Structure 1
Amino acid sequence: MKALFFILLITVTAFPVLSQERVQMHFNKNEIRLNILYLPAGYPELTYERVLGGKSAIGISIGGFIGSKKPNYAKDILTSDFSLFPFYRYYLGKRTNSGFFVENNVNLFYRDDHSDENKFGSGLGLALGTKFFAVNSWTMEVVVGGGLNFRQQSCEGSYYCFPDMFPRLGISLGKRF
């Protein structure tokens, strides 16, 4: 009788454990950001990022000069009039897509070199950065890096040539949704 009672007790207590459903964590997988570093110089850069998993994401940044005729600090740093940055990131933080990250990117760009030659170029680069979260899915990100420009030409003192390297810099504010 004791053995039957013991088997019945184990069966009754184990039954709810077997009927439990897996709990899936739901989090926002999309993020849009604005790079505020270049914004005062007339070079807005918008970024869209999609979370692939807990540690990786892909995205694209689009930026370009709009209505900026006078020289400014951004023209001294940036090597293109318009750029498109597809990227892949691997995050090393404990939270989902946060903390320190390593980025691999491709730069597709346009630069008016005041000639009749092809004005488009591309390059491959790396960047390092960190992402912080605030309340209500707001984010802040800092990224620093650069890459090798595949379209190289001799400058010979000209401002309008294509430099050997391109920068990947940013201080961005964004929102996850």
Structure 2
Amino acid sequence: MRIELERAAIDIAVGDITEQADMDAVVNAANAELMPGGGVAGAIHRKAGPELAQACRPLAPIRPGEAVITGAFRLPNAHVIHCLGPIYGMDKPEAELLARCYSSAIALADEKGIGSLAFPAISTGAFGYPVEEAAPIACTAVAEALGRAETVRVVRHVLTSEALVEMFAEETLKATGRAG
């Protein structure tokens, strides 16, 4: 599903974050040390190869809400933007930190002249953020950050089910003032 904005578009789809060949960058739901782990970080590191961990080492550690960028190596993209989402119930204020992940990633992409990037649902896996709470935060942060971006023209939420696509679409419509 694509939602057209004034100067950009938001795609929402079921998919694999490591298979977004039409995106300039993918976002890694990273750990503080930017090393391979489970979930999204593990999948991205496995597909990118060991060079990704080597490129990440001097950039770590990062704090919740922060974003850093590396090359993508064996991924079909030019860049990986690594964001550390909040651990639900531990990192406070968790909603602000989650929103900052999305806005920091888009701001960094914009600074680097990147035109498109794909996000997983940050913090909703091992970090325990309930997706029902995370979706409106993510969708609002993306819509607001796209309104400020100069070069980023497409953001894609890459999700694991059609039910999540529907949830993110509804929240994006609300965030952009298009909800019925």
More helix by share: 2
TM-score, normalised by the number of residues in structure 2: 0.28
Using structure 1 for the length normalisation, give the TM-score: 0.28
Give the strand-richer structure, 1 or 2: 1
Larger Rg: 1
Higher RCO structure, 1 or 2 (CA under 8 Å, sep 6+): 2
